[in-house]
Amino acid sequence: MKLFTRLQDPLNKVEDSVKKQFERQNLNWPPASLYIRSFKYDRQLEIWVQNHIDEPYKLFKTYKVCMQSGTMGPKRMEGDYQVPEGFYYINEFNPNSVYHLSLGLNYPNASDRILSDSVRPGSAIYIHGNCVSTGCIPISDAPIEELYVLASAVKAAGQEFIPVHVFPVKYSVKKSLDYLNANIQNNAYLQHFSANLRRGFDYFETKKKLPVIMVNKEGEYVYN
C-alpha cells in the first residue's frame, strides 16, 4: 500500500527501521499475518506476527497506550467515552488523521449491534497517534507510524482481515485480574461478559493461534 501523503518520505524511513527490527528478531518482512491485541487497564497494545501462515504467532513489540478513557466494560452507546471490548478488525487506514495517523476499528461489530444502543451505539473508534482519548486507543506518534507501515505492508501483501482484540485486562497478570474482579464483583453482566472474552484470550495464550469467533443471536461471542 503506497502512502501518497505529507508523511510519505518520513514513513519510508520508518519502514526501513521496522524492517531492521524484524531482521534482528528473525521475523519475515512482510510477515504472513498481523494480529493486534490491547489491554485497557494494563495500557498495552501488543503486535503479533506470523512468519508463515501455519506457524504460531510471535510477539513483535508492545506499545504503551498513553491515554485511557472510560472504565471496565464494553462500549454501549455514543458519548459514553468507553473504549470498546471485544473482537474487531481494522477497517480503515487514515493517513490524514488529525491524530497524526489512524487505523479504524469496525465498531460496532455484530455483537455490539445487538447489545448496544440501537439508535446511538457510537462509532469512529481508532488506534491513533497523539495522546488524547474519548474512547479510542492512542499510542502516540512514533508508535503509530511503525504500526501503520506494518499494517500497510501486510495489507499490500494480501491480508485483508487484520484482527484487533480488545480486553479489559491482561488476564494472565494477577494484579490486573484482581483489579478487574474488584471492579465487577457487583455486576453480574460484566462478570459474564468478561468471562466470555477471557475464553478468546486463553485460547490464544495456549495455542498462539487465533480462535474462530462468531456471534449468536443474543450477541454473545461463540468460539470454534
Q: What is the CATH number of the domain that holds 122?
A: 2.40.440.10
* 163, part of any domain: yes
* 177, part of any domain: no
What per-residue confidence (pLDDT) applies to 1?
A: 45
* 178, part of any domain: no
Quick check: 101 and 7 in contact, CB under 8 A?
A: yes
Domain coverage including residue 142: 8-169
Average pLDDT for 113-140:
94
Average pLDDT for 54-71:
95
Q: Examine the pLDDT at 2 and tell me if it is beyond 50.
A: no
* 121, part of any domain: yes
* 135, part of any domain: yes
- Specify the number of domains making up the chain: 1
Per-residue pLDDT tens digits for 131-182: 988 889 999 999 999 999 999 999 999 999 999 999 999 999 999 999 999 9
CA 4 to centroid of chain Cα atoms: 25
Q: Is the pTM for the entire model greater than 0.85?
A: yes
* 106, part of any domain: yes
* 194, part of any domain: no
What per-residue confidence (pLDDT) applies to 7?
A: 63
Per-residue pLDDT tens digits for 7-50: 677 789 999 999 999 999 999 999 999 999 999 999 999 999 99
* 12, part of any domain: yes
Calculate ∠ Cα 135-213-95, nearest 5°: 40
